[in-house]
C-alpha cells in the first residue's frame, strides 16, 4: 500500500510539471533544443546549492524530460561489501518550470536493483554506519527504491527571494540466502532558504534538516547450519555469534542532521562567481533488540564543505572553473548498558544507558578542482568542450580499545581529463561523443594497519582479510577509462520536442590487474 501511494504521488507531481511545460511551449525559443540538465546546473550554480531561493533570479526556459535507464557492473576490482555483479533498471523524470515570480523544480526516480553474490552488506547504504550487523554468506540481494524531490523559489521583491527544497527517499532490500537481512530505509531532507540581492552581489542563508532511518531484521530459515552474524566496530574489529533456526535479530539506525549554509554570489552579466560554505552536525543512534530498546552505539558526525565556481560566457567560448573542499569527521562511541528493573514496576526490566566509550574515529578530507573550456557555435550549441581536473583525498582512521590503539592512513591523488565533440546533421539531430581518462595514485607502500597493541582484544577479533581487501580497494593506484555517446532527434521543430538516447561505458584497471566494468543505457523524451 505504501509503495502504491509513493508511485501515485510521484507520478502526479511529474505529470503536473510536464503539463506546465506543454502549455508553455508557444513562447520557447529554438535554443532550448540544446538544453541539458548538466549545462543548466553549470550555468546556474544555485541549482545545485543547498539554497534553492537563488534560482528565482535566473531566466531559463521551461525544460523537462521523462525516460528509462539500465545500468550494470561486473569485475573483480570490488570492495568486500560490493556485489560480484549487479544490474538495475528504472524510470526517471525531472523538470524546471517558471511562472512569473515562481520557479518550480521536481524529479522522481524508481529503481530496481539485483545484486549477485553479495556479502557483508547489512545496511541499504554501504558504510551508512561504522557499527553494522553483517553476515559473510554470498547471496542474491534484491532492492527497489523511490526518490522524489521538489524545489520552489519565489521572488518576494526584486531584491529578496525565498525558497525551500524537500527530498524524500524510501527503499526496501532483502537477501535471499541465510542469514537473511531485510531492510526498510527512508530519508527526508528539508532545506528552507532566503537570498538578498544588492547590485551585483547576492547573499544567501539556508537551514538543513535531515532524518534517516534504516530498520534491519535478520532471520534464519534453515538452508544450512554453522553460519554466523558479525558485529562490526570499525577498522574491521568485530565480534561474532552463531545463528540457528530460532534466530531473529533486529537493528534500528536513526540519523538526525542539523546544519546550514551561507552563500555569496557575484553576477555581472556574463561573469558569475559563486561561493558556498556549509556546516552540518549529525548523530546516528544504533538500537538493537526485538523492540529496539537497547542502544548499541552512538556516532557523531561533523562535516564542512566549501564550494566555489566561476562562470564566464564569452562570444565564442564559455569557461567554467569549479573548486570544492570537503571535511568529514566521525566518532563512534560504544554504549555501556545495565539491565535494571523499571522503577515502580515489579516484573518489568529495561536496558539503561550508563555511559559511553570512544572507540573509533575517521577523518576524510577531499579537494577537487576542475576547469572546463567550451567552444560554441551559438549560446547553447557547442562545437566541443574539454575538461581537466585534480582530486586529492586524505583518509585517517583510528580504533581504540584501552590500552590498544590502531590506525590507518592513506592518500589518493587523481588527475582526470574529458573531452566532448558535438555534431549537428540535418538540423534535426544532435550527436555527442565523449571520452575521458583518470589516473589515481594511492599510497602503494603504506601499511593497512599500524598498531600499538599488546594483542588483548577480549571478545573482539580483527578480520585481517577484510581489512586488506578494503585497504587495497580504496588505496589502489588505478586507471579509469570512459567513453559515451548521446543522440537527440528533434521530433517537433515548432515546440522543441525531442527523443534522446544515451550510452556510457566505464572501465577501471587497478595496478594489481583487477578490473571492473560499468555500462549505462538510457532513453528519454525531452520537451
Task: Tell me the per-residue pLDDT of 422-470, one tens digit each, with 9 for 90 and over.
Answer: 999 988 899 999 999 999 999 866 788 887 665 556 678 889 999 999 9
Apex 386 CA angle, 385 and 390, nearest 5:
145
- Judged against a pLDDT cut of 90, whether residue 54 lies above it is answered with no
- pLDDT at position 181 is 87
- Judged against a pLDDT cut of 70, whether residue 269 lies above it is answered with yes
Q: Are 110 and 90 in contact (CB under 8 A)?
A: yes
- Judged against a pLDDT cut of 90, whether residue 111 lies above it is answered with yes
- pLDDT at position 519 is 98
Lowest mean pLDDT among 31-35, 394-398, 481-485: 31-35
Q: How far, in Å, CA of 525 to CA of 527, rounded? A: 7
CA distances from 347 to 342, 344, 495 (A): 8, 10, 73
Which residues are CB-contacts of 437 (< 8 A; sequence separation ≥ 6)? 416, 417, 418, 479, 480, 481, 482
Q: Find where cell 521583491 sits.
A: 157
Q: Are 192 and 241 in contact (CB under 8 A)?
A: no
Total count of residues recorded for the chain: 527
- Judged against a pLDDT cut of 70, whether residue 315 lies above it is answered with yes
Q: What is the mean pLDDT of residues 54-80?
A: 90
- Judged against a pLDDT cut of 50, whether residue 77 lies above it is answered with yes
Which residues are CB-contacts of 193 (< 8 A; sequence separation ≥ 6)? 50, 51, 52, 53, 54, 162, 163, 164, 165, 204, 205, 206, 207
Q: How far, in Å, CA of 486 to CA of 526, rounded? A: 13
Output 244 or 292, whichever has higher pLDDT.
292
- pLDDT at position 89 is 97
Residue 444: phi, psi to the nearest 5?
-60, -25
- pLDDT at position 495 is 78
Q: Which residues pair with 478 in a beta bridge?
A: 440, 510
Output 308 or 100, whichever has higher pLDDT.
308
Q: What is the mean pLDDT of residues 334-362?
A: 88
- Judged against a pLDDT cut of 70, whether residue 21 lies above it is answered with no
Lowest mean pLDDT among 15-19, 215-219, 381-385, 465-469: 15-19
Q: What is the mean pLDDT of residues 492-501?
A: 85
Output 101 or 164, whichever has higher pLDDT.
164
Output 41 or 458, whichever has higher pLDDT.
41
Q: Are 205 and 212 in contact (CB under 8 A)?
A: no
Q: How many CB atoms lie within 10 A of CB 355?
A: 10
The percentage of the chain sitting over the pLDDT mark of 70, rounded to a whole number, equals 90
Q: Are 329 and 304 in contact (CB under 8 A)?
A: no
Q: How far, in Å, CA of 407 to CA of 399, rounded? A: 6
The percentage of the chain sitting over the pLDDT mark of 90, rounded to a whole number, equals 63
CB burial string 79-89: b at 16+ within 10 A, e below? ebbbbebbbbb
**Three-state DSSP state, 481:** strand
- pLDDT at position 18 is 44
Which residues are CB-contacts of 457 (< 8 A; sequence separation ≥ 6)? 237, 401, 404
Q: Are 256 and 173 in contact (CB under 8 A)?
A: no
Q: Are 161 and 194 in contact (CB under 8 A)?
A: yes
Sheet containing strand 228-232, strands side by side: 133-134, 228-232, 237-242, 461-462
- pLDDT at position 57 is 81
Say how far residue 347 (Cα) sits from the centre of its chain. Answer: 46
CA distances from 29 to 20, 21, 60, 95, 494 (A): 16, 13, 11, 17, 9
Apex 187 CA angle, 186 and 188, nearest 5:
135
Per-residue confidence band for 35, with pLDDT thresholds at 50, 70 and 90: confident
- As a whole number, the mean pLDDT across the chain is 88
**Three-state DSSP state, 493:** coil
Output 426 or 20, whichever has higher pLDDT.
426
Output 343 or 30, whichever has higher pLDDT.
343
Q: How far, in Å, CA of 16 to CA of 193, rounded? A: 24
**Three-state DSSP state, 392:** strand
Question: What are 20's three cell numbers?
Answer: 506546465
Apex 100 CA angle, 98 and 101, nearest 5:
90
Q: How far, in Å, CA of 124 to CA of 113, rounded? A: 11
- pLDDT at position 225 is 60
Say how far residue 494 (Cα) sits from the centre of its chain. Answer: 38
Amino acid at each position: 500500500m505504501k509503495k502504491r501511494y509513493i508511485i501515485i504521488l510521484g507520478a502526479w507531481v511529474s505529470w503536473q510539471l510536464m503539463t506546465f511545460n506543454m502549455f508553455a511551449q508557444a513562447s520557447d525559443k529554438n535554443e532550448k533544443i540544446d538544453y541539458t540538465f548538466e549545462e543548466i546546473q553549470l550555468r546556474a550554480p544555485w541549482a545545485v546549492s543547498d539554497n534553492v531561493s537563488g534560482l528565482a533570479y535566473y531566466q531559463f526556459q521551461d525544460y523537462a524530460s521523462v525516460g528509462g535507464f539500465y545500468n550494470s557492473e561486473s569485475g573483480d576490482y570490488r570492495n568486500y561489501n560490493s556485489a560480484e555483479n549487479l544490474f538495475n533498471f528504472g524510470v526517471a523524470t525531472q523538470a524546471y518550470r517558471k511562472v512569473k515570480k515562481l520557479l518550480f523544480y521536481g524529479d522522481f526516480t524508481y529503481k530496481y536493483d539485483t545484486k549477485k553474490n553479495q556479502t557483508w552488506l547489512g545496511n541499504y547504504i554501504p558504510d551508512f554506519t561504522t557499527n553494522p550487523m553483517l553476515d559473510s554468506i554470498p547471496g542474491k540481494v534484491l532492492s527497489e527504491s523511490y526518490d522524489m524531490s521538489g524545489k520552489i523559489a519565489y521572488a518576494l521583491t526584486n531584491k529578496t527571494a525565498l525558497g525551500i527544497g524537500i527530498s524524500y527517499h524510501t527503499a526496501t532490500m532483502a537477501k535471499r540466502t541465510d542469514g537473511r537481512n531485510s531492510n526498510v530505509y527512508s530519508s527526508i531532507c528539508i532545506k528552507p532558504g532566503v537570498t538578498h540581492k544588492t547590485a551585483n552581489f547576492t547573499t544567501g542563508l539556508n537551514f538543513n534538516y535531515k532524518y534517516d532511518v534504516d530498520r534491519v531484521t535478520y532471520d534464519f530459515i534453515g538452508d544450512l547450519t554453522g553460519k554466523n552474524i558479525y558485529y562490526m566496530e570499525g577498522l574491521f574489529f568485530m565480534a561474532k555469534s552463531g545463528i540457528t533456526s530460532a534466530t531473529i535479530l533486529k537493528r534500528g539506525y536513526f540519523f538526525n542532521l542539523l546544519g546550514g549554509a551561507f552563500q555569496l554570489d557575484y553576477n555581472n552579466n556574463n561573469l558569475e562567481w559563486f561561493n558556498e560554505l556549509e556546516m552540518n552536525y549529525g548523530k546516528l543512534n544504533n538500537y538493537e533488540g526485538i523492540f529496539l530498546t537497547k542502544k548499541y552505539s552512538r556516532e557523531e558526525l561533523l562535516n564542512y564543505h566549501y564550494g566555489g565556481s566561476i562562470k564566464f560566457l564569452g562570444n565564442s567560448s564559455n569557461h567554467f572553473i569549479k573548486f570544492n573542499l570537503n571535511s568529514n569527521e566521525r566518532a563512534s562511541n560504544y554504549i555501556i548498558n545495565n539491565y535494571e528493573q523499571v522503577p515502580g514496576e515489579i516484573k518489568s526490566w529495561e536496558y539503561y544507558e550508563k555511559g559511553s566509550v570512544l572507540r573509533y574515529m575517521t577523518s576524510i578530507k577531499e579537494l577537487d578542482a576542475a576547469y572546463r573550456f567550451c567552444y560554441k557555435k551559438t549560446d547553447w550549441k557547442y562545437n566541443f568542450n574539454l575538461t581537466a581536473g585534480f582530486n586529492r583525498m586524505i583518509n585517517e582512521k583510528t580504533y581504540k580499545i584501552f590500552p590498544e590503539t590502531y590506525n590507518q592512513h592513506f592518500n589518493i591523488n587523481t588527475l582526470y581529463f574529458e573531452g566532448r565533440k558535438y555534431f549537428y546533421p540535418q538540423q534535426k539531430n544532435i550527436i555527442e561523443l565523449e571520452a575521458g581518462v583518470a589516473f589515481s595514485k594511492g599510497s602503494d607502500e603504506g601499511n593497512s594497519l599500524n598498531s600499538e597493541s599488546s594483542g588483548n582484544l577480549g571478545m573482539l577479533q580483527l578480520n585481517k582479510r577484510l581489512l586488506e581487501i578494503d585497504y587495497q580497494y580504496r588505496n589502489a593506484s588505478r586507471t579509469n577509462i570512459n567513453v559515451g555517446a548521446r543522440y537527440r532527434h528533434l521530433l517537433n521543430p515548432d515546440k522543441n520536442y525531442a527523443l534522446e538516447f544515451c550510452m556510457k561505458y566505464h572501465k577501471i584497471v587497478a595496478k594489481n590487474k583487477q578490473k571492473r566494468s560499468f555500462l549505462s543505457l538510457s532513453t528519454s523524451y525531452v520537451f
